């Protein structure tokens, strides 16, 4: 599809992606998604107008063109959520492009995103979370693999780590202390407390693992000694949840949701939980926690000066 673009447009796309990487610290996966989204949009415009899309034609995209693209994309079976993501990438590209080439991008920027319901995370209840931690180690015939899986899930549930964060730990991070320095999304650093149960789970894994820890190697190893993959953790949780009769929403990420929800339900401060999770926005933390409006208002009232009066 990129062959249908002019060299100037290809250079512009590369420049925009470079800016996303440099200014927003976007990950490789995010950049790949951005590239695909914008390239698909440009390819559609090429077919729609029957001509190669240079910067001139791109500066003249109309509201009608945008509606045609969105209709065609939805017609291809793309969900409203995915279309909203694609539109966001296109708008970002156009905003960058217009600033550098001096054209008016209103037709693109004014395009409304399709409405969709945000899927709220579904945490496990406390009993189910504990049952999962007890059941996961029993899924492997190799004892050290079971203690490894238990250690990973204990970090997700006990420290609120993302699975990518847990699996990015290296031998230089052990033995675990009372806190752990985590580099999360967007390169944002946070310090999380490490509960005794998490320290004990990781220590047991280290004692059982046949591969000694190395400072520059993954802490959690696969069966052959390479880095443990997220897919392996997802698979063992799928096996455990079938035994426990839990729904398909009982995933590794649900353990992180459960950390936030159970902490808030026990009286934890929403702002503090936001910091522990590494969320940039408090609204993200609210969506992460399965609490009702009354509970949120209770937390708000206890924190607000007028509420305490």
DSSP codes of every residue in 41-78: HHHHHHHHHTS-B-HHHHTT--HHHHHHHHHHHHHTT-
End-to-end CA distance of the chain: 63
85, 122, 185, 190: which one is catalytic?
185
Distant-in-sequence, close-in-space partners of 294: CB < 8 Å, separation ≥ 6: none
148, 256, 257, 262: which one is catalytic?
256
Give the count of beta carbons closer than 10 Å to the beta carbon of residue 109. 14
Is 253 one of the catalytic residues?
yes
Residues of the chain with CATH 1.10.150: 2-109
Is 162 one of the catalytic residues?
yes
Q: From first to last of the 309 residues of the chain, give the pLDDT tens digit.
A: 444 567 888 888 899 999 888 777 677 888 888 999 999 998 888 888 877 667 788 888 899 999 999 999 999 988 888 899 999 999 999 999 988 888 888 999 999 888 766 665 578 888 999 999 999 999 888 889 999 999 999 999 988 888 999 999 999 999 999 988 888 777 778 888 888 999 999 999 999 999 999 999 999 999 999 999 999 999 999 999 999 999 888 899 889 888 878 777 777 666 777 777 766 666 666 666 655 555 555 655 665 555 444
Is 279 one of the catalytic residues?
yes
Structural fold of domain 2-109: DNA polymerase; domain 1 (1.10.150)
Residues of the chain with CATH 1.10.443.10: 126-305
Torsion of CA 124, 125, 128, 133, to 10 degrees: 70
Distant-in-sequence, close-in-space partners of 86: CB < 8 Å, separation ≥ 6: 37, 40, 41, 73, 78
Distant-in-sequence, close-in-space partners of 141: CB < 8 Å, separation ≥ 6: none
Structural fold of domain 126-305: hpI Integrase; Chain A (1.10.443)
Report pTM: 0.59
- Report the candidate in 14, 49, 38 with the shortest Cα–Cα distance to residue 108: 38
Is 48 one of the catalytic residues?
no
C-alpha to C-alpha distance for 209 and 38, rounded to whole angstroms: 45
């Amino acid at each position: 599809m990129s062959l249908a673009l002019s060299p100037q447009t290809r250079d512009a796309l590369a420049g925009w992606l470079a800016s996303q990487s440099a200014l927003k610290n976007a990950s490789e996966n995010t950049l790949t998604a951005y590239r695909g989204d914008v390239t698909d949009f440009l390819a559609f415009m090429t077919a729609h107008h029957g001509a190669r899309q240079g910067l001139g034609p791109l500066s003249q995209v109309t509201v009608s063109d945008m509606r045609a693209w969105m209709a065609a994309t939805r017609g291809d079976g793309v969900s409203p959520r995915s279309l909203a993501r694609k539109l966001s990438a296109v708008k970002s590209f156009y905003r960058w492009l217009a600033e550098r080439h001096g054209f008016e991008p209103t037709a693109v920027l004014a395009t409304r995103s399709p409405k969709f319901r945000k899927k709220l995370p579904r945490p496990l209840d406390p009993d189910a979370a504990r049952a999962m931690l007890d059941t996961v180690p029993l899924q492997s015939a190799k004892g050290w693999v079971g203690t490894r899986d238990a250690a990973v899930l204990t970090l997700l549930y006990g420290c609120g780590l993302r699975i990518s964060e847990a699996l990015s730990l290296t031998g230089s991070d052990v033995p675990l202390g009372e806190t752990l320095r985590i580099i999360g999304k967007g390169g944002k650093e946070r310090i999380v407390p490490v509960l005794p149960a998490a320290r004990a789970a990781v220590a047991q894994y280290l004692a059982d693992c046949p591969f000694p820890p190395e400072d520059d190697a993954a802490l959690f190893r696969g069966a052959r000694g390479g880095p443990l993959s997220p897919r392996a953790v997802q698979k063992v949780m799928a096996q455990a949840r079938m035994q426990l009769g839990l729904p398909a929403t009982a995933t590794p990420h649900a353990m992180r949701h459960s950390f936030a929800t159970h902490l808030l339900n026990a009286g934890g401060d929403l702002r503090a939980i936001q910091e522990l999770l590494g969320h940039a926005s408090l609204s993200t933390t609210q969506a992460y926690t399965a609490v009702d409006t009354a509970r949120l208002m209770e937390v708000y009232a206890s924190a607000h000066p007028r509420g305490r009066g």
